[in-house]
A and B are shown apart, each in its own frame.
Chain A
Amino acid sequence: NAGVMQNPRHLVRRRGQEARLRCSPMKGHSHVYWYRQLPEEGLKFMVYLQKENIIDESGMPKERFSAEFPKEGPSILRIQQVVRGDSAAYFCASSFRGEKLFFGSGTQLSVL
């Protein structure tokens, strides 16, 4: 059973471009979480999704950010019109029914 797969591992964007971060959960997992982490800081919650539903998006800025977890395919975190402050590591985690989370290796987003 492959682990949580995130891609790309590194993503470079210029200011104003769009960033699309992908997360394939572990097989059988229907819960997906997205967190953001800056160097030497903890994980900041962004959004919690279950298949086709957003359960909690209170940590995600209302503008420019969106997330989805369709019935088929990976979860996508989308950041439109990126700014330098969006530079960070973005981690995705999945779980079977909540509780124990399995994390991917993260996507390091750099905005030039």
Chain B
Amino acid sequence: SQKIEQNSEALNIQEGKTATLTCNYTNYSPAYLQWYRQDPGRGPVFLLLIRENEKEKRKERLKVTFDTTLKQSLFHITASQPADSATYLCALDIGNNDMRFGAGTRLTVKP
């Protein structure tokens, strides 16, 4: 069956550390993968897109990797801050820009 799995429901880290979130998928061959941030009571907000022929993408303190052999994407937030606390969702293109989301990982950064 087709699945999108994010490593854990919740991740707690100390301010200043690097947060690493995982997105694994099975039985999909996405042309690209995206990461979104969602705050309580709000819609998700786009962060980064990485294509199947790209290994890594960076934007400020964010870094995303995409390994199509392992069928995995890693999402890193370096020098984390309490303001980074939110739920992070990965999303896959399953073809023709049809997007599917993982369940999300709730990140809490403690001061």
**Do these two chains really belong together in a complex?**
yes
Does A25 count as interface, using CB distance less than 8 angstroms? no
Contacts of A41 in B (CB 8 A): 103
Given A98-B93, A100-B49, answer yes or no on A43-B44 (Cβ-Cβ < 8 Å): yes
Please measure, in the bound complex, the distance between the C-alpha atom of A105 and the C-alpha atom of B40, giving whole angstroms. 11
Check A99 against B49 for contact (C-beta < 8 Å): yes
Does A88 count as interface, using CB distance less than 8 angstroms? no
Does B45 count as interface, using CB distance less than 8 angstroms? yes
Which secondary structure dominates chain B's binding surface?
A: strand
Please measure, in the bound complex, the distance between the C-alpha atom of A41 and the C-alpha atom of B43, giving whole angstroms. 13
Q: How large is the interface on B (under 10, 10 to 19, 20 to 34, 35 or more residues)?
A: 20 to 34
Contact residues of B between 38 and 91, Cβ < 8 Å to A: 42-46, 49, 89, 91
Which of A33, A35, A40, A43 has the most chain B CB atoms inside 10 A of its CB?
A43
Please measure, in the bound complex, the distance between the C-alpha atom of A99 and the C-alpha atom of B96, giving whole angstroms. 9
Contact residues of A between 31 and 49, Cβ < 8 Å to B: 31, 33, 35, 40-43, 45, 48
Contacts of B45 in A (CB 8 A): 103
Contacts of B44 in A (CB 8 A): 43, 91, 93, 101, 103
The tally of residues in A whose CB lies under 8 Å from a CB in B reads 25
Contacts of A91 in B (CB 8 A): 43-44
Taking Cβ atoms with an 8 Å cutoff, the residues of B that contact A are 9, 32, 34, 36, 42-46, 49, 89, 91, 93, 96-104
5 nearest A-B residue pairs (beta carbon): A98-B97, A103-B43, A42-B103, A43-B101, A42-B104
Taking Cβ atoms with an 8 Å cutoff, the residues of A that contact B are 4, 31, 33, 35, 40-43, 45, 48, 55-56, 91, 93, 95, 97-106
